[in-house]
Structure 1
Amino acid sequence: MIGHDLGGRYEIVSRIGGGGMALVYKAHDVLLNRKVAVKVLRQQFVNDDEFIRRFRREAQSAAALSHPNVVSIYDVGQEDETHYIVMEYVEGNNLNELIQERAPLQAEEAVRFAMQICDALGHAHQNHIIHRDIKPHNILIGNNGRVKVTDFGIARAVTSSTITHTGSVLGSVHYFSPEHAKGINAGEKSDLYSLGIVLYQMLTGKLPFLGESPISVALKHLQETIEAPRSINPHIPQSVENIILKATRKNQSERYSSAQEMLLDLESCLRTDRLDEPKMIFPTFNDMEETRVMPAIRGEFVTSQPLERNEQKAIVSDTSTKWADEGNAKKQKKWKKPLTVVGVTLLLLALIIFGFMWLLDKLDTEEVEVPYVVGMTLTEARAAFDAKGLRVDDPVTLEFHRDIPKDQVISQSKKAMRVKAGALIQLTVSNGPEMASLKNYVGQSFKAVKEELNSLGVTDTRIKVVEQNSEEAVDSILEQTPKSGELFDPVTAELTFVVSIGPETVEMPDLTGEKLSTARKLLKSLGLVLNEEDIFYAPSYLHEKDHIISQDEKLMPLDQVPKGSKVTITVSSGPPADAKTYVLNVRISPAVAGVASEVKIVYSDARGENMEGITRTITDTVDIPVTVMLAPDTVATITVSRDKQFMDTKEISYDELEAGTGTPGLTIPGEELLPPTQSTPDEQVQGEINGNNGESTSEGESEGSGQGQ
């Protein structure tokens, strides 16, 4: 993706982040000459209509908002199967990175961030949009301190139907509101709950609820009470803690009614008169009616009609009917009821006091100092607690952690305090970095695999490539280390791939003009194949018999060709059948008798123009035979020079040889005999004369008698 021009306008520069649904790249808008952020839907979701709709909903939701604390949407588009959103690029970090580096933050800074987030949420809620995934990862902090809320990927309009899948809930479980965890529609107050969790994390450096699985964390949001922030960080003002406690109430009616109300509280919470305000107390919420005990009606029946004062009433029993005076009955009960209540009360008090004294006696155990075990291994921590008579609350909480080794204690529930011997201490232990299972990449394209690994967080510097010649396609993976199925850490692991670069190649030699036997040996030494059926013969004026005329155009000289490639060549079978050769005798004397002269003979015939045939130094008259070859309807020319001066030329035609009329030789006397450019017919000899006065010919000279053929 890096270097790609998306939509012909956005030049992808580098990858800056990513989530479960999309990858985010830094890009350059070549049209407006500015930096932008481009969010690209992951390739595995391009065929998932639901993800595509959710991806487009993000663009629509964010584009409907215009606020200085909301990331602006510039463009949305699709190129082939690539769906993308172009948005404002923010120079800086996200809030999660800031928390990891500096938490706990100062109250003033955390409140300032929370106010800007709250302001952005208020604007979204006014436009009937619920974010539903407020978390530090989606909060960008610019270098100028400006907060930007981004990632409306699972936002929805209040009036639209829910996009919660059957059996699943979208969002980040550590920041879920209780109603969100139940899987019901989340409203404005759900965003405020998530903001309360974010503020809690900024000020304490930890999340309120952790667990071994997302379900266990969601259940804690539903059932457990958040630990007071000031118990973790006593420097938090009480007024700020009150805001967190109110925003994170499980009962929606006890939270802030709107983002505007929470913003007003944030704006004033750091005033001097509010810093030490009383801790906010919330009533216990119980939506079940109290159970009541109803008296049983046995054998008596009491009339339900009203009776006059002093009026007698009939009481029906199993055996008889009695009449009594109502007034007398009331007087009898008047003294019995208080006596019974007092007696029962005293008895209960006695039992309670006795039980309390017995319990105190049982609980009166020795107090011990809780050892600090953070940084120890779990085995060492258990040993330290055993030595003090304390116990580890099993099972321990396991968390993936990038920087803390596996089985090392990250935190403990109680420290720097005295507790009763035998008390349980909850430990959070590192499970090491989160590992991934390596797929089987053998046979796949290395380029595609590299992009996939980059998306998992594996950088190019930790991907090593070993190139190897192979019959497999170029760029296909032959071997991988680690092997398929092994666990690896995407952030630190180094991976090695053996990648095919195709078959081994050799440089194709130039075979033109070589003898066939020589070419066979050369090709065999290079690992190339020359079969008999790939050798073609053709007549040639230029090449001697069994010499190579040409080679396959697909395998040209200097080309790199795979070993084992078949080579096709064309070999000369000698001159054509209708070709004629003629040997012309040139008799020449030195310019001055007894003084050396340099003789040069150049000829043109069917084999080429102006070919140097003979060069010789002579001191006496010699005969030099010159062989020419003629094709039908052609003329051969022989030119003689002496001491670099043109002496004479001779033309021989194919028709003369065909007619058998014969062609005389060429005689060039010395200067003492005749002028250099003259010769007489009497001094010429027939072309059939062979002569050599003992002078050696230079390379290329032909010897023998000349006759027309």
Structure 2
Amino acid sequence: MIGHTLDERYAIRSRIARGGMATVYLATDLRLERRVAVKVMHEHLAEDENFTRRFEQEARSAARLAHPNLVNVFDQGHDAGRTYLVMEYLPSITLRDLLKQQKRLTTEQTLEISEAVLSGLAAAHRADIVHRDLKPENVMLADDGRIKLGDFGLARAVSANTTTGQALLGTIAYLSPELVTRGVADARSDVYAFGIMFYEMLTGTQPFTGEQPMQIAYQHAHSEVPLPSLKSDEVTPELDQFVRWTTQREPEDRPRDAEEALGYLTAMQSGQTAPIGATRVLDFGGAAPTPSTTVLDEAQRQALAGGTTVLPASPFDTDSQAVAEPETPATALDRAAAATRRRAKRGRVLALILVVLVVLAGGVGWWFGQGPGSQVTVPDVAGTELADAQAALERQDLLVDIFECSSLTVPVGQAAATEPKSGSRLDRGSTVRLCSSTGPALKDVPTIVGLSLDDAMAAITAAGFTFGEVTDTRFDEAGPETVLAALDPEGEQLGEQYPEQGAINLIVSAGPLPNVAGMTADDATAALTEAGLTVDPELGSEAHSSEVAEGSVLALTTSTDPVRPGDPVGLQVSLGPELFEIPDVSGLGLQEAMDTLTAAGFVPTSLVPEGPLRGLAKATGTDPAVGERVQAGTEIRVKSTIAL
């Protein structure tokens, strides 16, 4: 599609994205001179009436909406068997891209994005349009700060309330319970999908996950969405309550549309408990039991009330009287035995302390040597499959945060590098950013056509590309070694952007063909040979010419287009002017003789003036004489006599 023009208006420049139903291209509206996004349905789907109808439904649904938080739709049409949709071009990332980068959003980011999404969705609900495919991939975060909701390809009229048929449309992770169980959707289904997305922004994860889509669908139909505060300490009770309200399994328990949800969100941000007219906000849990304020038994509480302090006895005392009146050994033998017992007791205490110190030292050594407190080395995972790289990092007790980056050497989808780089020493439990390669970065292609070969090679290198080779040289009116075209290795014309360090091949001019008209055949042959051409006698020809002398070249005959050095050419050589034989007009009447010469292509003259005498005169000969060959248009004097 790149390089094509749809309906002689939308010139396709480059590809932006590819989805299950269509491919989105960056194009130029030649009529209004602006950049637009053109969504072209895949050709293999164009024969399916259901897909075509859904595709056209997107145009009609979205064209009915005009709101700052909705992507504008400008046009829709068919051209050369392709069905396309023209939309507002929005340089942006999606909410999904932002979640991949940040894992989870701050409360302020979540509220700002949610307010914009609900505003756009409310405009759709007011127009009786249900989005049916609300998810982070369809929320656009523009470079200039605008937030827009797009892709109404699954939209339906609210009043229709129809089922989807044999298969549910949309993304399973955001489907409402009524869509899963009955295949029926209305504005409250969009509110449910928004609540799931709100939960994901706060926590960085979806509430329901599973290996199979049906597992996730079952959880939507039979489980309550967990509170986001269980995943994030930043979530307030008000946000918990908002998530629980918007994701109730019964549609009647949710906000009736996005406008009501937006009203509650706005009121919550301003400190109000609920907006006027809000439906019932469900409680998300009972109050926690009040903890006991004392652990004293009844006797201790009474003693405390009476002002008596109750203290436990010393663990070293077995008898209060012994504490008051210690017994003294009566003899020297008793005193020696008591001293031995004290030393033995101190020895046991010291041994216990030593054991504790040894165990503590061993524990510290294990903790910082091989345990959770030890450091690990970041492995080199560049060039491996992304899942294998993630597993290798997790085996080192490292947390993995995946992001995308360009790479000249690593294929798309494989691990390109880590941050910090491999070989770095980190504490266990540290986070390592793992780059998923997106291939070479796309860079703007400079102007190459019209430059000299040397200048073109310099421009290619300066722009971050690689000069490949000169794939073709052809004769052209441009000067020698002027670039005529720039191509990729497959021979296709370059678009506005091209992968970094990609090879660029060139077609250059050999200069104009030599002008050999008027030369002798030998001189012309020498000039063409010097220019790299081969003179083929079989391509030669001859022709009469009244302007070019006999034996000189009239024109150059080519057998190929374009003409390249080494191609065969022929020469058209002049035979000089064409000659005609003078007819015999002797014996004819003078006037008849002159008419005969005129019909033969000559200019007859006579000494007999026009009038009665010319009718009595007869031709006796011509000058030049009969039978001579002269050019057409030659003046022939008719000799005559007058019979009296």
Normalised by the length of structure 2, the TM-score is 0.51
- Structure 2 distance, partners of 1:401, 1:505, is 45
Quote the Cα distance in structure 1 between the aligned partners of 2:220 and 2:394.
30
Report the alpha carbon displacement of residue 567 of structure 1 after superposing the two structures with TM. Answer: 1.1
1:475-490 paired onto structure 2 within 5 Å: none
Return closer, same or farther for 1:417/1:405 CA change in 2, 3 Å cut-off: closer
Q: Distance in 2 between matches of 1:408 and 1:52?
A: 44
Query: 1:469 corresponds to which residue?
Result: 472
Match of 2:555 in 1: 551
Using the alignment, how far apart are the partners of 1:85 and 1:476 within structure 2? 31
- Shift in CA distance, 127/279, structure 1 to aligned 2, threshold 3 Å: same
Distance 2:473 2:181 in 1: 57
RMSD, matched Cα = 6.1
Within 5 Å, which residues of 2 pair with 1:304-319? none
Distance in 2, Cα, partners of 1:250 & 1:402: 40
The aligned residue for residue 521 of structure 2 is 516
Q: What are the Cα deviations for residues 84-134 of structure 1, in whole angstroms up to 9, with x where unaligned?
A: 444556686654455556664442442243234334434434544321111
Deviation by residue 1:507-546 (Cα, 9 ceiling, x = unmatched): 533334444344445545555444444444567787776x
Instruction: Determine the structure 2 residue equivalent to 1:280.
Output: 284
Task: Decide whether the 8 Å contact of 1:402 with 1:434 is kept in 2.
Answer: yes
The structure whose Rg is larger is: 1
Name the amino acid aligned to 2:63.
A
**Partner-residue secondary structure (3-state), 1:50:** helix
Partner of 2:570: 567
1:49 maps to a residue whose letter is: E
Cα deviation code 1:634-661 (max 9, x no counterpart):
9xxxxxxxxxxxxxxxxxxx959999xx
Distance 1:385 1:17 in 2: 32
Larger mean Cα displacement after TM superposition, 371-380 or 202-211: 371-380
Which whole-Å deviations, capped at 9, do the CAs of 1:433-476 have from their partners, x for residues lacking one? Answer: 4689xxxxxxxxxxxxxxxxxxxxxxx976976441399xx999
Q: Which residue identity does 2:138 align to in structure 1?
A: N
Cα deviation code 1:293-325 (max 9, x no counterpart): xxxxxxxxxxxxxxxxxxxxxxxxxxxxxxxxx
Corresponding position of 2:78: 78
Shift of 1:62: 2.3
Instruction: Tell me the distance in 1 between the aligned counterparts of 2:258 and 2:92.
Output: 26
Change (3 A) 1:253 1:494: farther
**Deviation at residue 16 of structure 1 after TM alignment:** 6.1
Q: Residue 285 of structure 2 aligns to which amino acid in structure 1?
A: I
Deviation at 1:153, TM superposition (A): 0.7
Question: What percentage of residue pairs aligned between the two structures are identical?
Answer: 26
Kept in 2, the 8 Å contact 1:192–1:259? The answer is yes
Residue 170 in structure 1 maps to residue 169 in structure 2: yes
1:236 maps to 2:240: no
**1:585-596 alignment to 2 at 5 Å?**
none
Q: Distance in 2 between matches of 1:185 and 1:219?
A: 16
- CA gap of 1:401–1:246, structure 2 versus 1, over 3 A, is farther
Structure 1, residues 537-587: CA drift from partner, whole Å, max 9, x if none? 567787776x3241246689x9955632331422548997989xxxxxxxx
- Mapped partners of 2:145, 2:34: distance in 1: 21
After TM superposition, list the pairs within 5 Å mapping 1:198-237 onto structure 2.
198-208=197-207, 228-237=227-236
Give the CA deviation at 1:58: 0.8
Is the 2:188–2:255 Cα contact (8 Å) retained in structure 1? yes
Q: Which moved more, 1:129-138 or 1:8-17?
A: 8-17
Question: Residue 110 of structure 1 aligns to which amino acid in structure 2?
Answer: T
CA contact (8 A) 1:541 1:576 kept: no
Cα gap change, 1:115 to 1:417, in 2 (>3 Å): farther
In the alignment, structure 1 segments of 5+ residues that lack a partner are 283-365, 411-415, 419-424, 437-459, 482-489, 580-631, 635-653, 660-709
Q: 1:70 to 1:27 in 2, by over 3 A?
A: same
The answer for the alignment partner of 1:23 in structure 2 is 24
Query: After the TM superposition, which residues 689-700 of structure 1 pair with which residues of structure 2 at under 5 Å, given as runs?
Result: none
- 386, 398, 415: which one pairs with 1:405? 415
Which residue number in structure 2 is paired with residue 292 of structure 1?
Answer: none
Structure 1's 208 and 409: CA in aligned 2 closer, same or farther, altered over 3 A? farther
Higher helix share: 2
Mapping for residues 33-44 of structure 1, pairs under 5 Å: 38-42=38-42
Give the direction of change, closer, same or farther, for the CA distance of 1:374–1:515 in structure 2 (3 Å limit).
same
CA positional deviation for 1:69: 3.9
**In 2, Cα distance between equivalents of 1:491 and 1:469:** 21
State the AA in 1 paired with 2:415.
P
Residue 59 of structure 1 deviates from its aligned partner by: 1.7
- 8 Å CA contact 1:62–1:73 kept in 2: the answer is yes
CA distance 1:524–1:145, change in 2 (3 Å): closer
Letter in 1 for 2:521: L
Q: 2:515 is paired with a residue of what secondary structure?
A: coil
Distance 1:553 1:531, change over 3 A: closer
* Residue-pair matches, total: 451
Which letter maps to 1:152?
F
Q: Following the alignment from structure 1 to structure 2, what is the Cα–Cα distance between the partners of residues 428 and 183?
A: 44
After superposition, residues 3-14 of structure 1 pair within 5 angstroms as: none
Structure 2 unaligned regions, length at least 5: 275-280, 287-365, 382-387, 407-413, 421-425, 441-462, 475-483, 492-496, 583-601, 605-621, 628-644
Amino acid at match of 1:52: T
Partner SS state of residue 468, structure 1 = strand
1:205 deviation in Å?
4.1
1:601 corresponds in structure 2 to none
Counterpart in 2 of 1:121? 121
Quick one: distance in 2 between partners of 1:111 and 1:170? 28
Instruction: Give the AA of the match of 1:243.
Output: F
Instruction: Confirm whether residue 151 of structure 1 aligns to residue 151 of structure 2.
Output: yes
- The match for 1:325 is none
Matches within 5 A, 1:366-385: 369=372
Mapped contact 2:12–2:25 kept (Cα < 8 A):
no
How far apart are the structure 2 equivalents of 1:574 and 1:655?
Answer: 20
Alignment of 1:65-464 (within 5 A): 65=65, 67=67, 69-87=69-87, 94-99=94-99, 104-141=104-141, 147-158=147-158, 159=160, 161-163=162-164, 166=166, 169-177=168-176, 180=179, 184-208=183-207, 228-249=227-248, 255-270=254-269, 280-281=284-285, 369=372, 401-402=404-405, 405=415, 432-433=436-437
Kept in 2, the 8 Å contact 1:11–1:30? The answer is: no
Conserved? CA contact 1:23–1:42, under 8 Å: no
Other-structure match for 2:635: none
